[in-house]
Amino acid sequence: MQVSVENAGGLTRRMTVQVPPERVEKAVEEKVRRAGRHAKIPGFRPGKAPYKVLYQRYADSARAEVASELVQATYPEAIEQEGLKPAGRPQLELGDQSPESGLAYTASFDVYPEIELQGLDKLKVEKPVAEVTDADIDKTIERLREQNKEFAEVERESADGDQAVIDFVGRLDGEPFEGGSGEDVEVTLGEGRFLPDLERALVGRKPGETFQVDVSFPEDYGAEQLAGKTADFEVTVKSVSEPRLPELDAAFFQKMGVEEGGETALREKVAESLRREVANAVDQKVKTQVMDGVLEANPIDVPEGLVAQEIERMRGEALSRLPQQMRQDPEQAKQLLPDEALREGAERRVALGLLIAEVISDQGIELDRDRVEAKLDELAAGYEQTEAVKSYYRNNPQMMQGVEAMVMEDQVIERLLEGAKVKEKKTDVDDLLGGEQESA
């Protein structure tokens, strides 16, 4: 078997394989004879037709089968012979298959990049240090109250923060347009979730008031027939309600999952939640800096096949968060999330995956099974039936692989931090969490 490899640019290799005719013809002959054992050919008893007759009848189909089988058999042989490491499946192209020439085919594929790790001892990390204070707890409790506010009707002019219930009809050039009307629509003033001109016009209005307002649509508005246009809206204010925050009483504490201990217990729960969020945020920021440092010190080409797979995986992750009907049409999914929008992130993921795999190999890092069990405990802690949850993970290989990957990633980060220059920086909790702490 003759093999030649051509560098087609970057990581792409074009490998040509020539299987000698004697190997091909031997396989063809075996298939023809096997087919002839039970062949019913006019003029001959079953299984007694001469080979020449059998060859004329079955050679073409036998040669096609042999070609497929020999490609599958010889491709791994050729890869091993040339010492190549393909990344993904090859694109195959069959060449000459005449009895005199044997079998020729070409396989095009990307190979894994050769990686020589550099700069791991020069990583720099700025580690945030944030202490949860009483002020942070107060802010979080106020956020919880805000999230659980209720609205009560008032007989006064509306102001920012109020909720107005309105009916409206929009007209373009004097004619109503599709989607331009609504009844009993709730608008919270100041949130910026409604058309800006219309929302601003609602401030200072009283219940029962009807008014006209011109509303300009942005140039990039979703409905093309309205983009950049100005419509006339007739609006009726049916009610105005003001926000009222819940009192810090037993009902509110119970709603927050605090059965006993009142405000003191709530503050302790909020503090615990904030500390957990702070720890996670610190870990994530440190991890991101380490990964960025490894990537910056080790720029590598990435196999296009792996990038394509990662794009599909990222698209699937994003679609899983969309309504069911939007996930069913593959073409619509690609329009919503085109390859170009995902490529940069996919290339980063692939590059980091290859580099981290090299770090694991280079540093001899082995998965810590005790830490895997600890991670399972952590994941199951939020559920009542913790053992059932852990059993569910253990019986699902794909989910267990995800858990093991998280643990291994933590181990890699810890190993890299051993040689990194870490500088601590005091940070406010609000700055660290972006002012968007989750509720306790």
Kindly report, residue by residue over 82-102, the tens digit of the pLDDT: 999 999 889 999 988 788 888
Q: pLDDT for 180-193, tens place per residue?
A: 899 999 999 998 88
Give the pairing of strands 150-154 and 230-244.
antiparallel
Q: What is the pLDDT of residues 15-65, one digit of tens each?
A: 999 999 999 999 988 888 887 787 778 878 777 788 888 888 888 888 899
3-state secondary structure of 301: coil
Residue 139 lies inside a defined structural domain of this protein: no
Which of 150, 153, 230 minimizes the C-alpha distance to 195? 230
Instruction: Tell me what the pLDDT averaged over the chain comes to.
Output: 90
Please identify, among 244, 272, 303, the residue that sits at the C-terminal boundary of a domain.
Answer: 244
Write down the pLDDT at residue 438: 46
228, 244, 260 - which closes a domain: 244
Task: Tell me, yes or no, whether 136 lies in a domain.
Answer: no
Residue 422 β-bridge partners:
125
Structural domain of residue 332, as residue ranges? 120-131+252-433
Q: Is the per-residue pLDDT at 393 higher than 60?
A: yes
Rounded to whole angstroms, the Cα distance separating 95 from 334 reads 35
Tokens of 264: 């003191």
Q: Report phi then psi at 245, rounded to 5.
A: -80, 145
Query: H or E stretch including 127?
Result: strand 124-129
Q: Is 144 among the domain residues?
A: no
Which CATH number goes with the domain that contains 228?
3.10.50.40
- For residue 440, tell me if it sits in a domain: no
Whole-angstrom CA distances from 319 to 243, 349, 403 are 35, 18, 22
Are 84 and 200 members of one domain? Answer: no
d(CA 15, CA 210): 76
Indicate if 309 and 368 belong to the same structural domain: yes
CA distance 267 to 256: 11
Structural domain tally of the chain? 3
Say yes or no: 272 and 412 in one domain. yes
Residues belonging to the chain:
440
The tokens describing 11, both together, are 């990581």
Same domain, yes or no: 288 and 429? yes
Answer yes or no: do 237 and 259 share one domain: no
pLDDT, residue 273, reads 93
Q: Are residues 176 and 273 in the same domain?
A: no
Q: Can you give the pLDDT at residue 328?
A: 59
How many whole angstroms separate alpha carbon 148 and alpha carbon 43?
91
Examine residue 79 and state whether it is found in any structural domain, yes or no: yes
Helix or strand holding residue 236 (H, E): strand 230-244
Least confident of 37-46, 247-256, 274-283, 357-366: 37-46
Please tell me whether residues 191 and 172 are part of one structural domain: yes
Angle (CA) 100-104-110 rounded to 5° is 175
Looking at per-residue pLDDT, the higher value among 342 and 97 belongs to: 342
pLDDT at 440: 42
Task: Residue 55: give its domain's CATH number.
Answer: 3.30.70.1050
Helix (H/G/I), strand (E/B), else coil: 295: helix
Single residue among 214, 244, 274 that ends a domain in this structure: 244
Q: Is the pLDDT of residue 331 over 80?
A: no
Is this prediction's pTM over 0.75? no
When pLDDT is averaged across residues 291-300 and rounded to a whole number, the result is 95
Task: Give the count of beta carbons closer than 10 Å to the beta carbon of residue 281.
Answer: 18
CB atoms near residue 278 (< 10 Å): 21
| CA gap 79, 432 in Å, rounded | 50
Which tokens hold the place of 341?
């929008």
Place of tokens 């195959």: 92
Tell me the pLDDT band of 256, cut-offs 50, 70 and 90.
Answer: very high
Q: Are 164 and 189 in contact (CB under 8 A)?
A: yes
Q: Contact at 8 Å (CB) between 209 and 163?
A: no
CB burial of 159-193 (b: ≥16 within 10 Å; e: otherwise) equals eeebbbbbebbbeeeeeebeebeeeeeebbbeeee
Distances (CA, A) of 314 to 311, 347, 353, 371, 377: 5, 11, 14, 27, 27
Q: Could you give the CA distance from residue 102 to residue 95 in angstroms, rounded to a whole number?
A: 10
Q: Which amino acid is at 158?
A: S
Q: Do 266 and 353 lie in a common domain?
A: yes
Q: Within this chain, do residues 234 and 313 fall inside the same structural domain, yes or no? A: no
Reported as a pLDDT band with limits 50, 70 and 90, residue 439 is very low
Question: Which tops the pLDDT comparison, 149 or 336?
Answer: 149
Please, what's the b/e burial string for 317-336 (b: 16 or more CB within 10 A of its CB; e: otherwise)?
Answer: eebeeeeeeebeeeeebeee
* Phi, psi angle pair for 376, to nearest 5°: -60, -45
Report if residue 138 sits inside a domain: no
Separation CA 369–CA 353 (nearest Å):
21
Position of tokens 């399972």?
376
Task: Say if strands 124-129 and 91-94 run parallel, antiparallel, or are unpaired.
Answer: unpaired
Same domain (yes/no): 264, 373: yes
CA distance 190 to 116: 55
32 exposed, middle or buried (CB, 10 Å; 0-12, 13-18, 19+)?
A: buried
Using one digit for the tens of pLDDT, what is the confidence trace for 198-220? 999 999 999 999 999 999 998 88
What's the whole-number mean pLDDT along residues 327-344?
Answer: 78
Mark whether 200 and 321 lie in a shared domain. Answer: no
Whether 258 maps to a domain, the answer reads yes
Q: Which residue has the tokens 């904030």?
A: 274
Asked whether the beta carbons of 301 and 11 are under 8 A apart, the reply is yes
- pLDDT classification of 316: cutoffs 50, 70, 90: confident
Q: Looking at the structure, do residues 367 and 292 belong to the same domain, yes or no? A: yes
Q: Is 393 among the domain residues?
A: yes
Structure tokens at 374: 């600890």
